[in-house]
Structure 1
Amino acid sequence: MKKTNYIYLVLCTLTATLFLGSCQLGKHYTRPKLNLPETLDSTSVDSTSLGDYSWEEMYTDTTLQTLIRKTLTYNKDMLIAAARVKELAAMKRIDYANMFPAVGVKAYGEKEGENYGGDHYKSSNEFDLKIGATWELDLWGKLRWNRDKSLAEFMGSIENQRALKMTLIAQVAQAYFELVALDNELSIVRKTVDARRESLHLARIRYEGGLTSETAFRQAQVELARTATLVPDLERKIALKENEIAFLSGDYPHHIQRSILPEEVMFTNSLPVGLPSTLLERRPDVRQAEQALIAANASVGAAFTNLFPTISLTASYGAESAELKDLLKSPYHLLSVNILQPIFAMGKNRAMLKAKKAACEQAAYAYEKAVLNAFKDAYNAIVEFNKIKEVYETRLRLEQASKSALDLAQLQYINGVIGYMDLLDAQRGYLDAQISLSNAIRDKQITMINLYKALGGGWKESNTSQQPM
């Protein structure tokens, strides 16, 4: 009969646990109202977005693709983020396991002898072999709130890894195009130095022939020296940019292979930016901020449940005997219930609840700030993209006009129609126009990078990759 009562007690306890286990006290997470704008760009209402393309489709330069893949594999920040994901995955598993009973086996043996006074020997032995289980009943949802928190932190680490990937791709691509632009600028300057040497040679001949004054000859020397000083400065910038790319790719400084800057720049007729609501799903940094808010909300729920009693079950079954030979003949069982109700703790639990609510409020503001920052980046990138086309076209016309003016000035100078200072002005104008056009091409590439990143592109491998959850 006693055994039947014992089993009945266990079944009643388990039934009550399962019935009450559906209760999870606290306010569940709801996304804050953001009042998003209707569109990102007045000229585009398509739901498709540039951010939906994979980075391989955006950056078709095979050399750049190799650098990006190397960076995503060996960059130290990426490796740190990957290790962080592993850490939080294990922590998530711990909080999930806390919801279930912990079962263990205990084997214990003790042989003790006492002889106080020399003639009162007493033997006190103990041998145990038991299977024990402990289980904290999640009546109010504390363990489930902790599970939700660890899950949100784990998902946040994944979004952080994705955001880092998106940033690294943009950094490598921008550094690569800046490096190519520096190469192009150095090539322009070196050609200009050669042209200055020819001008100096011509000025020397005209000066020695008495056709011009010494001033024009000396000015030609000054201009050659001034242009030549640009070469080592550009070589320094190129070396530093190579070192930056090597560091991003997790390598020591070395020469970076790259292509040449394209002469023609093609612009798309339309700009697919997508809908404002989808921007929140494509930007992993925004999604990371939301996961941090979900984790903070779960912490509030867990702190709230600390105001209620904690109930734990402990059960043991096995054998216990003073003699090892009688161990299997001495059954043992135990079932205990431990209820802990906080009564007086100087307001510690309520203060903790207030602190968690304040932390959740901070996380909510941080999420709203991340959303505002995402839209600011998107709007800025769209403005830059729309204006860079005009900048490029005007600088292209300037370069073409400066080239024509220089050709005419050289012809007139040889024929003695204009002086050397007029030729020098034309040479300076053409050099500035060439560098300005090269920078416009670079800025166009960087503008595309910034737009792609602002729209949340880069962290997915291809269009068939796993979509945001």
Structure 2
Amino acid sequence: GYYTLLMLDEQLSISERTLTTWDENIRVLQALKRAGRTNEAAVLQARANRMRVESSTLTLRNQIAEQENAIRSLLLDPDADMARGSLREQSFPESLSAGIPIDLLSNRPDVREAEYRLQKSFYDINVARAAFYPSITLSGNAGWTTSSGSVGNPSSWIANALGSVVAPIFNRGTNKANLDIARARYEENLLDFQQKLLDAGMEVNNALIAWQTANGRLALDRKQIVALKGAVHNTRLLMRNTTTNYLEVLTAQQRLLEAELSEASDRFDVIRSVISLYHALGGGR
């Protein structure tokens, strides 16, 4: 949420600078119109472009206010100060490890939860299997004992126990059913654990791909901005010294605004992908 706020701040700053540029453009076009070098259509086009940017700034201000309120809600403080830095000041890793050991996924709470369920179901099998045996304890010098005390003749006691306790239960299949259920739950939890690992691994890969893609777009954005700044400068020179239509300057400036807004968005996507990777690894590395 904080980095979303910084991205919106950056986009608002770009839009406000562009508004100043459009004001200058309108003044120049009005002067050119008086000199007979352009017409009313060019002036109206420039005013329309300015109003579109002004509308965008109003939308951005509204989004900023909503994001500030969302953060205040998370902080449980409706009066929290929203002083902050800028998007360009943020420092994030410029390279990420391409090979991430799968055991790092054990940091994730959902993977740990599935692992513990698997462990429990394994021990449940042992508990279910133990129910087949009489409740008797081997106690060294004390010999064979039960909850009722010492067993004088273990062989006879076991025979009686099997006859009086285990056999009736076997007739109903209860112990066997419990063992089958425990084994089935173990298989279910094993599959769930495997699925959690696959899902977690996919999230890690997706975050890495998103980071690589956003970085690629960001590099292209920067090259495009340099090219468009040159285009704006050159079309202005051409307009002053040739019959080049001023609409070409307006078009170049509009494309420059769009490229600068895209750069801010892609810089945020780089940050968001790093945060997503941190989450996917259950708290980073």
TM (norm. structure 2) is 0.77
Partner residue, 1:445: 271
Partner residue, 1:374: 200
SS at structure 1 position matched to 2:147: strand
Aligned-residue offset at 1:389: 3.2
Greater share of residues in strand: 1
SS at structure 2 position matched to 1:341: helix
Structure 2 residue corresponding to 1:235, chosen from 56, 61, 66? 61
Q: Structure 1 pair 296/239, CA: closer, same or farther in 2 (3 Å)?
A: farther
Distance 2:186 2:26 in 1: 72
Partner residue, 1:40: none
Query: Deviations along 1:78-118, whole A, 9 cap, x unmatched?
Result: xxxxxxxxxxxxxxxxxxxxxxxxxxxxxxxxxxxxxxxxx
Aligned-residue offset at 1:348: 4.3
Amino acid at match of 1:313: S
Partner residue, 1:184: 10
Distance 2:57 2:50 in 1: 12
Unaligned stretches of 5+ residues in structure 1? 1-174, 316-338, 461-469
Query: Residue 211 of structure 2 contacts residue 269 of structure 2 at CA under 8 Å; is this kept in 1?
Result: no
Structure 2 residue corresponding to 1:341, chosen from 154, 162, 165? 165
Q: Is 1:359 the equivalent of 2:185? A: yes
SS at structure 1 position matched to 2:266: helix
Distance 2:100 2:270 in 1: 24
Bigger Cα displacement from structure 2, 279-288 vs 439-448: 279-288
SS at structure 1 position matched to 2:88: coil
Amino acid at match of 1:287: R
Partner residue, 2:82: 256
Q: Structure 1 pair 247/351, CA: closer, same or farther in 2 (3 Å)?
A: farther
Amino acid at match of 2:124: S
Structure 2 residue corresponding to 1:426, chosen from 252, 255, 260? 252
Aligned-residue offset at 1:308: 4.3
Query: Deviations along 1:395-428, whole A, 9 cap, x unmatched?
Result: 1111111112112223333456321321111111
Q: Is 1:388 the equivalent of 2:222? A: no
Partner residue, 2:104: 279
Query: Deviations along 1:301-327, whole A, 9 cap, x unmatched?
Result: 333334444577379xxxxxxxxxxxx
Partner residue, 2:119: 294
Aligned-residue offset at 1:260: 0.6
Q: Is 1:405 the equivalent of 2:239? A: no
Structure 2 residue corresponding to 1:217, chosen from 43, 48, 52? 43
Q: Structure 1 pair 304/232, CA: closer, same or farther in 2 (3 Å)?
A: farther
Partner residue, 2:147: 313
Bigger Cα displacement from structure 2, 178-187 vs 448-457: 448-457
Amino acid at match of 1:296: S
Partner residue, 2:140: none
Query: Deviations along 1:45-89, whole A, 9 cap, x unmatched?
Result: xxxxxxxxxxxxxxxxxxxxxxxxxxxxxxxxxxxxxxxxxxxxx
Structure 2 residue corresponding to 1:226, chosen from 46, 52, 64? 52
Greater share of residues in helix: 2
Query: Deviations along 1:228-270, whole A, 9 cap, x unmatched?
Result: 11112112222232233334444447553321111797864x6
Amino acid at match of 1:293: L
Aligned-residue offset at 1:388: 3.5
Q: Structure 1 pair 249/364, CA: closer, same or farther in 2 (3 Å)?
A: farther
SS at structure 1 position matched to 2:258: helix
Please tell me the root mean square deviation across aligned C-alpha atoms, in Å. 3.1
Q: Is 1:205 the equivalent of 2:31? A: yes
Distance 2:96 2:177 in 1: 52
Q: Structure 1 pair 350/285, CA: closer, same or farther in 2 (3 Å)?
A: same
Distance 2:243 2:90 in 1: 36
